[in-house]
Structure 1
Amino acid sequence: MTDPAKPAMGVLPIQSLKAMVARAEITAEIAVTEAQYQPASLDLRLGSVAYRVRASFLAGRSAGVGERLKDFAMHKMDLTDGAVLEKGCVYLVPLLEGLNLPDGVQAVANAKSSTGRLDLLTRTITDHGTEFDRIAPGYKGPLWAEICPRSFSVLVRQGMRLNQIRFRTGDTTLTDAAMTALHKAETLVDGPAHIDGGLGFSVDLEPRKDGIVGYRAKPHAGVIDLDRIGAYRVDDFWDLVRSDGNGIILDPGAFYILVSREAVHIPPDYAAEMAPYMALVGEFRVHYAGFFDPGFGHAQAGGQGSRGVLEVRCHEAPFLLEHGQRVGRLIYEHMTERPELLYGKDFASNYQGQGLKLSKHFNVD
């Protein structure tokens, strides 16, 4: 029989995550709840305090986060009843979850979809860590969230879930040849599949009936309470972006919500991660990475293809972004086994079948 503590190569599904919690390989100051489990990841919760720090930092091989925090902390904030994290500032929050990973199991973290769509830069760091969001096999210790609101100030509380963690064992990534075969069998994307180091996707700047192709964050908007769903008017926080079909010019420092031209499908036995086509494509960056769960956009989970929302930030110079320009790629990974629950079918999923869509905090009616 297979040792349950030594899963096959791939991304670990929800049933394996529950087993990890039972074995105390995932630890928690307050018991993990059912709401935290996703088909191929676990939501992480903010702890009771936040530290305003002078700068973003990594602990480095020779130190723990707590040791380095002594050099960077400016003041401490209580999150029990809520506190505002101000735009342009950097905060460090200990998470309620920690890890006691076995050898051979590594982890990667990412911001949740709604977090990214608010331009709320959220990254996970660890003791002795040398990379953001990457956790080495066998890591034992606490987890911290570094949070930098970039477009809007936000009100947060203990227990809120801004980022998520995915666990892997072995080599999980599909080769281009394997992705080509999978596309023929499962139709990973509507239309031609551009497979080269992942499944390439492009930006859709074809205007809708109302002429809109995206949204641009307003520079001086108010505070967003992350617990309030559908509570905010779009035009209080976003300018509408229109196009004549020939593209748009991105302004330096501005943040945009756009959408991919392709509708993607994630089969139930696979997961995917969005990555930039290159770290920098021209003068802008698209999406700081994101998880796509098994079942996203897939027919077996009630989907008919779902387009990827693009979180776009322009850098130093104005840049012409044109319709159909290749901007990113999806990296597909094997699951160790099919998840017991699928995105869009067994979960109340905000973004199944999505097109151009803001985070769930905005009332778009």
Structure 2
Amino acid sequence: MKKKEIKNGALAYQNYKFLIENNIINSNNRIPDESIQPASIDLRLGNFAYRVSSSFLTINKTVEDRIKNFIIDKIDISQGHLFKKNQIYIVEVQESLNLDSKLSGKCNPKSSTGRLDILSRVISDYSSEYEVIKPGYKGKIYLEITSKTFNIVFTEGDKLSQLRLRKNNIVTTNDRELIGLHKLSPLLYNKNHKAIKPLINNGLKITAAVFNDDEPIAYKAKKDSPEIFFNKLRFHNKKDYWVSINKTKKNSLIIEPNEFYILKSKEKIKISRNLAAEMIPYDSEIGEFRAHYAGFFDPGFGNEMKGSHAVLEIKTYEVPFAVEDGQIIARLIFEKLAEEPTKIYGEGIKSNYQNQGLALSKHFRV
């Protein structure tokens, strides 16, 4: 391996390029540059899926060994295959790892995956946790995929999840540092592009927007809708899949159990070029619901237009839950990068959700 010292912290675009060039991140198929994001790398589906009877982890075994205990079907997805909702599938991704002991990783679904209510989580060999790549991991990576709302056709090469590597321990910003960062360059703006005071307490608090005179305040997924082709962008008619919800008299929205909603944040968020942010998907202090599958904001998010709204995927499982306009609904934790990326979100890389409002996934026609 070429000698190059990667600094502590979350890896940036150029660090991933280096790891690929030195076979620390491997693939039998060339990894295209568009798979490398400012602070993560996309994971591409391989050509076979396994429909299984149960989710599982791999505490003392490989994923391959565990699949043998639960397999129902082995499916060729090279030309596309329909993944039926609420069925569990395991797919080996095209990328594999050969990490040293100082490198570890965290994974999460991509934004478009979360906005379709797809549970996509990484499994690795000999691991007791989803979405975690242990220090020094060497081996294959798999996705467990369950579409919760829609029947979806997936094809070899589709990108559902992303991998974020870091050197040594995670380096997060504390509340005092966040306050200082906001003074230097505001983290939050209102709809009129004016900087607003952030609510910072164990991270940056984000509130829900459920009041708008001119546009829908939310989308609610329809129960019975046509199949979705994951590799067809701007293709599907949103009216076939979503119900638009307009403002209510009480400026609140009742989230019904086991229904899937898309909302947006009241604030517009800006992530500086040397940071990334993760949204905590479930926080019992905020409410008994899950907000946001994807939960990852690249460096440069919202930089071009004084912030972009966060889009929130919302579900509640037990009882109806009322979300008020301006109610705290999520929390952002900021992570320091090893170095500033040479590729930034939105700057000439065709980022799909820069300057977004209440936005469905890129699969739907506007």
Which residue of the partner structure matches residue 202 of structure 1? 207
Residue identity opposite 2:211 in structure 1: E
CA distance in 1: counterparts of 2:277 and 2:142, whole angstroms: 24
1:246, distance to aligned residue in structure 2 (A): 2.2
Q: Which residue does the alignment assign to 2:311?
A: 309
Where does 1:25-64 land on structure 2 (aligned, <5 Å)? 25-60=24-59, 62-64=60-62
Aligned partner of 2:50: which letter? Y
Structure 1 counterpart of 2:188, one-letter code: V
Matched residue type, 2:214: K
Aligned match of 2:240: 236
* Contact 1:277 1:329 (8 Å CA) reproduced: no
1:214 corresponds to which residue?
218
Is the Cα–Cα contact under 8 Å of residues 59 and 127 in structure 1 kept in the other structure? Answer: yes
Q: Which residue of 1 aligns with 2:192?
A: none
Asked if the contact 1:200–1:277 (Cα under 8 Å) also holds between the matched residues in 2, the reply is no
Deviation readout 1:188-212 (Å, 9 max, x if unpaired): 11212111111110111012414x2
Residues 275 and 289 in structure 1, CA contact (< 8 A), matched pair in contact too: no
**Residue correspondence of structure 1 range 264-283 to structure 2 within 5 A:** 264-276=269-281, 278-279=283-284, 281-283=286-288
Please list the CA deviations of residues 23-68 of structure 1 after superposition, one character each: whole Å capped at 9, or x if unmatched: 11111121211120111110110001000011111111x1111111
Amino acid in structure 2 at the alignment position of 1:319: F
Q: Which amino acid aligns with 1:93?
A: V
Structure 2 residue matching 1:68: 3-state secondary structure: helix
The count of residues paired between Structure 1 and Structure 2 equals 357
CA distance in 2, matches of 1:153, 1:281: 31
Contact 1:279 1:285 (C-alpha < 8 Å) held by counterparts: no
Gaps of 5+ in 2: 190-195
The 8 Å contact of residues 287 and 329 in structure 2, kept in 1 or not, is answered as no
Counterpart-to-counterpart distance in 1, 2:77 and 2:44: 12
What aligned pairs does 1:140-289 form with structure 2 within 5 A after superposition?
140-169=138-167, 170-190=169-189, 191-210=196-215, 212-244=216-248, 245-276=250-281, 278-279=283-284, 281-289=286-294
Structure 1: give runs of 5+ residues left out of the alignment: none
Aligned mates of 2:129, 2:285 — CA distance in 1: 18
Instruction: Tell me what 1:12 maps to.
Output: 11
Q: Which amino acid aligns with 1:154?
A: I
Q: For 1:76-155, list aligned pairs within 5 A.
A: 76-155=74-153
TM-score between the two structures when normalised by the length of structure 1: 0.95
Maintained 8 Å contact 2:282/2:290: no
TM-score (normalised: structure 2): 0.95
Aligned equivalent of 2:336? 334
- CA–CA distance in 2 between the matches of 1:95 and 1:207? 41
The code of the aligned residue for 1:241 comes to I
Contact 2:53 2:88 in 1 (8 A): yes
State the shift of 1:282 in Å: 2.9
User: Relative to structure 1, is the Cα distance of residues 279 and 112 closer, same or farther in structure 2, using a 3 angstrom cutoff?
Assistant: farther
Task: Give 3-state SS (helix, strand or coil) of 1:167's partner.
Answer: strand
* Secondary structure, aligned partner of 2:180: helix
- Do the aligned partners of residues 81 and 279 (structure 1) sit closer, same or farther apart at CA in structure 2, a change above 3 Å counting? farther
Q: Distance in 1 between matches of 2:208 and 2:128?
A: 33
Equivalent residue number for residue 326 of structure 2: 324
Once residues 51 and 287 of structure 1 are traced to their aligned partners in structure 2, the CA distance between those partners, rounded to angstroms, is 27
Question: 2:170 & 2:251 partners in 1: Cα distance?
Answer: 41
Rounded to whole Å, the distance in 1 between the matches of 2:239 and 2:89 is: 28
**SS of the residue 1:178 aligns to:** helix
Question: What is the percent sequence identity of the aligned residues?
Answer: 39
- 1-structure distance, mates of 2:327, 2:18: 43
For 2:207 and 2:357, locate their aligned partners in 1 and report how far apart those are by CA, in whole Å.
14
- AA in 1 matched with 2:347: K
Q: Could you tell me how far 1:265 is from its partner in structure 2?
A: 0.5
